[in-house]
Amino acid sequence: MIASLRRTSTREVGRDDRGFTLIELLVVVVIIGVLIAIAVPLYSNYKKGAANTSASSDVRGAISAVEQFYTANGNQYPANVTGTKGTNVTLALSGGGGTTGTITVSAGNTIVFTNNSTSYVICGQNEDGQTIYTYNSATSKSVAKSSATSLATCASATS
């Protein structure tokens, strides 16, 4: 038995024992390709959903900032303001004076605040998400998807 093991351990490596065949390698490449084809669209959907959630969250945060501003400034809403992507929005009274407020805006998001004198509309969108979220203080109880096609028309579409 030991002699037989020695013979097999010392024998030269044959041509069939050196590596993988071309067919085996092609099968592995095809399997990896199928897995990537499934994973990439799923990842894109998760990324888009995260962008939409980020925009919705920023609108919710803006509601708190506006209400805090309203209380600190003698029941007056701030002037209309449009933010730029990822830059915090500063709230101020239209005539100046008073206490300023800040709406925190996440990277890639844009927030628009429109004062309708007795109420207000806040719209938010992420550059990746493509969905606009809105809050109208006169009619809404929560943040919702807007039917507006752009942030510029969001406030008028929800008024």
Q: What is residue 60's predicted lDDT score, i.e. its pLDDT?
A: 94
Query: 26-58, pLDDT tens digit by residue?
Result: 999 999 999 999 988 888 888 888 888 999 999
Sorted by sequence, the CB contacts under 8 Å of residue 62 that are 6+ apart come out as: 89, 103, 111, 113, 122, 124, 135
The pLDDT-based confidence of 152 (bands split at 50, 70, 90) is confident
Q: What is residue 146's predicted lDDT score, i.e. its pLDDT?
A: 86
Q: Considering the entire predicted model, what is its pTM?
A: 0.72
